[in-house]
Amino acid sequence: MSESFRLIEPSHQPPLEPSFRPAVLANRAFRAEVAASGAGVPMALALERPDGSVSRYDTMVFPEGHARAEANLMYVERLVKFLLWQRGGHRVYAGGPPSVGQYLAKVYAPDGERAFDYHFMGEDVYEKTFEVVTCDAKDAPAEQETTRPLGRHLDGCRIGFDLGASDRKVSAVIDGEAVYSEEVVWEPRKQDDPSYHYREVMAALQSAAKHLPRVDAIGGSSAGVWINNRPMIASLFRGVPKDRFDEVRSMFLRIGEEFGVPLDVVNDGEVTALAGSMSLEDNAVLGIALGSSEAGGYVTPEGNITSWLNELAFAPIDYSPTAPVDEWSGDRGVGALYFSQQCVFRLAPAAGITLPEGGTDADRLKAVQELLESGHEGATKIWQSMGVYMGYGIAHYADFYELRHVLVLGRCTSGRGGDLIVRGAMEVLRDEFPEIASHVNVQLPDEKARRVGQSIAAASLPALKK
């Protein structure tokens, strides 16, 4: 990364990671510097998807040849990285100084530093060849977003499920009320046989079906990128070899046919946001689920969802050159390493905690959470650090989402942990970003949200056949 791009030390430091350098502070400092120079030129980033939709982000950078022009490179590259995982796209238009577009094309190439993103966004998600197009800002495509309603169908006898990396949950729902729920620990990421996943999902659905007079519809949520009920890529199925991945892609289509009812599956972050919107009876909701990884979902101010990916687990929030590296994408400072059990595990040594050997990740997390509940100083510092990350993370997200509510939930927020995270986040927002703190409500799910729940919200996804 370019050393000319200036990183800013935060006024609130995570107790266990003083090297943390928030993306939001660096970006705001860069924009202020460009504005103060009086020399700024437009930079338009347009991300195109195969359905014809286009997301656009406009900013200002230093002109070609300016003494500070090198700082443009990291600023824009990190923006593109965030936008790709927030909004998605197989083609990026870099409308601005040619050196920026040339740099992006070099980085996001089959053999570039972001080869993972190149292949993921191109071949894996959109089944296209990924490309960066350099152009003038005025020639970048105009924004063309699409939204659609999501769920909120509570009529009939429904099954709702949620597939996580540590456990799978299922509920039988009659007219919006859960009459049965089940949670089963599993470790799908270690399984390379698609039939394992099929058997486990079918076992969950059949278990719920036994508690219903009939099954009218099935709705589900799962980590990963989902298009038309097909998982294009997902960490749950990471162990499945590429030459058998089509069996996973078609699995939920087959299950819907076998039950003979409407079946919809979407990203778990979207269902998180939907559950929040349903419980709050309001919109402009960003849901952030801290589980095995970070799941993000967004309900627009109009109550719809977009065609965005909202895969915030891969979106950077820390620009420190010593930030931890994600094992899958190979990138530094991405959300999954700050807002999930992965964060707990990586901070444990600094907190003086030795993780138990053997057992599942859920067991390891539970062991650290038991220390937290007992008042262990090191465990407390882990969750205090996560609160600081969350405050700066929400401020960063607010530059890309219109927000009224941020709902923080997931396995890592159980017990004292959730309160420590929200309290720490609000302290950061009140001190450094009062304009955000004044109009964005950050909270854990209330009792009503728990009653609605992820699986009930998932069950509400399909509309019944007429």
φ/ψ of residue 3, rounded to 5? -75, -15
* Range with the poorest average pLDDT among 124-133, 263-272, 361-370, 452-461: 452-461
Residue, of 254 and 227, whose pLDDT is higher:
254
In the block, residue with structure tokens 């991945």: 245
Q: CATH fold of 146-466, please?
A: Nucleotidyltransferase; domain 5 (3.30.420)
In the block, residue with structure tokens 């923080």: 408
Nearest in space to 201 (alpha carbons), one of 258, 274, 270, 269: 258
Q: Provide mean pLDDT across the span 381-396.
A: 98
Distance (Å, whole) CA 178 – CA 460: 12
Q: Which two tokens stand for residue 139?
A: 């020639």
Give the count of alpha carbons within 13 A of 313, CB side only.
27
Enter the pTM of the model: 0.89
Residue 241 CB coordination number (10 Å): 9
Rounded-to-integer distance, Cα 439 and Cα 133, Å: 37
Locate CATH 3.30.420.40 in the chain: 146-466
Read off the pLDDT of residues 92-134 as tens digits, 9 standing for 90 and up: 999 999 999 999 999 999 999 999 999 999 998 999 999 999 9
Structural contact between residues 318 and 23, judged by C-beta atoms closer than 8 angstroms? yes
Q: Is 162 helix (H, G, I), strand (E, B) or coil?
A: strand
E strand or H helix at 296: strand 294-299
Which tokens hold the place of 430?
């009140």
For residue range 337-366, list pLDDT tens digits in order: 999 999 999 999 999 999 999 888 889 999
Token duo for residue 387? 């609160």
- 93 forms beta bridges with 46, 133
DSSP string, 359-413: S-HHHHHHHHHHHHHTT-HHHHHHHHHHHHHHHHHHHHHTTTS--SEEEEESGGG
